[in-house]
Amino acid sequence: MNMYADAGQAGKEAMDNFIKSVSTVTKGFQQIAAETGEFTKRNYETSTKLLEELAQTRTPDKAIELQSAYAKSFYEAWMSQATKIGELYTNIARESFKPLETNMNKAASYAQDSVQQAA
């Protein structure tokens, strides 16, 4: 009877850890969505400001200067955002695996104990 109770407890722990893992992934994706939304909002505001400034330019040289500055700043912002999102994905993977790692360690320990008892 003890074996059945252990199996039930192990199943419950595995399900709890799976739910923790899924919760971590969900929270991480929400954070990524929020970061992406903020980046999009900032970029829209910057683009709007650029268009207003371009509309007021009097010479092609000034327009090219504005456009070049915008392109450089957008590229830098985009690279920074891509790095930040990459770090978030890495963190999601790392944190969501931790609860599952607990299950795997317990299963390996149980298997090792079973082999030692059988020997």
At 68, list the tokens: 């070049």
Query: pLDDT tens digits for 1-41?
Result: 476 777 778 788 888 888 999 999 999 999 999 999 999 99
42 band by pLDDT with thresholds 50, 70 and 90: very high
Answer for the pair 24, 96: CB distance below 8 angstroms, yes or no: yes
Q: Could you tell me the maximum CA-CA distance found in the chain, to the nearest angstrom?
A: 89
Query: pLDDT tens digits for 54-105?
Result: 999 999 999 999 999 999 999 999 999 999 999 999 999 999 998 888 878 8
Q: Where are the alpha helices (DSSP H) in 1-119?
A: 2-55, 60-118
Q: What pLDDT does 83 receive?
A: 98
Q: What pLDDT does 7 receive?
A: 72
Q: What pLDDT does 57 receive?
A: 93
